[in-house]
A and B are shown apart, each in its own frame.
Chain A
Amino acid sequence: MKVGVEYFVGLSAVLFGIGLYGIFIRRSPMIILLSVELVLNAANLALIAFSRYRDDASGQVFALVVMAVAASEVVVGLGLVVAMSRRRAELDVDRLINLRN
Chain B
Amino acid sequence: METLSFICLLMPLAAVAALALLHTRISRETAAWLGTGFAFASFAAALIVFVGLLGEGAGQREHVYTLYTWAQSSTLTVPFDILVDPLSAIEMLVVSGVGSLIVMYSVGYMHGDPKERRFFAYMNLFLFSMLLLVMAANFVLLLAGWGLVGLSSYLLIGFWHEQQAPVKAAKKAFVMNAVGDVGIAIAIFFMARDIGTTNFHEVFQRGPEVWSKGGTTANLVAFLLLVGAVAKSAQIPLHTWLPDAMEGPTPVSALIHAATMVTAGVYLIARAHPLFENAPDIQSLVALLGVATLLMAGVIALVQTDIKRIIAYSTMSQIGYMFTAVGVSAYSAGMLHLLSHAFFKALLFLGAGIVIHALANEQDVRRMGGLASALPWTTRLMWVGTIALIGIWPFSKDVVLASAYEAHSTTGWIVWVGGLLGAALTGLYATRLMRLVFYGERSEFAREHLHTDHGEAPWTMFWPVAVLGIGTVLAGLLWIGFGVNHAFATFLEEVAPNVEPAVSVEFATTVIAWALGIGGALLVWRLYERPERVAAVRRRFGSLTTLPERKFYWDEAYDLVFYRPAARVACWFNAVLERWVFGGSVTGTAWSVRGIGRWVSDAQTGVVRQYATVFVIGAVAIGAYLLGRSSL
In the complex, A touching B (Cβ < 8 A): yes
Contact for A97 among B605, B613, B616, CB less than 8 A: B605
CB within 8 Å of B: which residues of A?
20, 23-24, 32, 93-94, 96-101
Contact for B608 among A20, A96, A101, CB less than 8 A: A96
B610 → chain A closest CB, angstroms: 10
CB within 8 Å of A: which residues of B?
601-602, 604-609, 612-613, 616
The CA-CA distance from A65 to B602 in the complex, in Å, is 36
Q: What are 20 pairs between A and B in contact, CB < 8 Å? A: A20-B616, A23-B612, A24-B609, A24-B612, A24-B613, A32-B608, A93-B607, A93-B608, A93-B609, A94-B609, A96-B606, A97-B605, A97-B607, A99-B604, A100-B604, A100-B606, A101-B601, A101-B602, A101-B604, A101-B606
* Cβ-closest 3 pairs across A and B: A97-B606, A100-B606, A99-B606
Give the total number of A-B pairs whose CB atoms are below 8 A apart. Answer: 27
The CA-CA distance from A97 to B607 in the complex, in Å, is 6
The CA-CA distance from A6 to B108 in the complex, in Å, is 112
A83 → chain B closest CB, angstroms: 16
CB nearest neighbor in A for B619: A20
CB nearest neighbor in B for A27: B609
The CA-CA distance from A52 to B609 in the complex, in Å, is 35
Residues on A with beta carbons closer than 8 Å to the beta carbon of B616? 20
The CA-CA distance from A20 to B609 in the complex, in Å, is 11
Q: Helix, strand, loop or mixed for chain A's interface?
A: loop
Residues on A with beta carbons closer than 8 Å to the beta carbon of B602? 101
Residues on A with beta carbons closer than 8 Å to the beta carbon of B608? 32, 93, 96
A22 → chain B closest CB, angstroms: 11
B630 → chain A closest CB, angstroms: 15
A92 → chain B closest CB, angstroms: 11
A85 → chain B closest CB, angstroms: 17
The CA-CA distance from A97 to B608 in the complex, in Å, is 8
The CA-CA distance from A38 to B359 in the complex, in Å, is 108
A93 → chain B closest CB, angstroms: 5
The CA-CA distance from A24 to B616 in the complex, in Å, is 10
Whether A94 lies near B612 (C-beta < 8 A) is no
Q: Determine which residue in A24, A97, A99, A101 has the highest number of CB atoms from chain B within 10 A of its CB, and name it.
A: A101
Residues on A with beta carbons closer than 8 Å to the beta carbon of B606? 96-101
The CA-CA distance from A94 to B611 in the complex, in Å, is 12
B499 → chain A closest CB, angstroms: 91
CB nearest neighbor in B for A29: B608
Known: A24-B612, A93-B607, A100-B606. 14 other contacts (CB 8 A): A23-B609, A23-B612, A24-B609, A32-B608, A94-B609, A96-B606, A96-B608, A97-B606, A97-B607, A98-B606, A99-B604, A100-B604, A101-B604, A101-B606
Residues on B with beta carbons closer than 8 Å to the beta carbon of A20? 616
CB nearest neighbor in B for A23: B612
Residues on A with beta carbons closer than 8 Å to the beta carbon of B607? 93-94, 97
Residues on B with beta carbons closer than 8 Å to the beta carbon of A32? 608
The CA-CA distance from A99 to B608 in the complex, in Å, is 10
CB nearest neighbor in B for A97: B606
Residues on A with beta carbons closer than 8 Å to the beta carbon of B612? 23-24
B620 → chain A closest CB, angstroms: 10
CB nearest neighbor in A for B613: A24
B285 → chain A closest CB, angstroms: 76
CB nearest neighbor in A for B601: A101
The CA-CA distance from A100 to B608 in the complex, in Å, is 10
CB nearest neighbor in B for A98: B606
The CA-CA distance from A20 to B617 in the complex, in Å, is 12
Residues on B with beta carbons closer than 8 Å to the beta carbon of A97? 605-607
A40 → chain B closest CB, angstroms: 14
B614 → chain A closest CB, angstroms: 12
The CA-CA distance from A9 to B343 in the complex, in Å, is 112
CB nearest neighbor in A for B597: A101
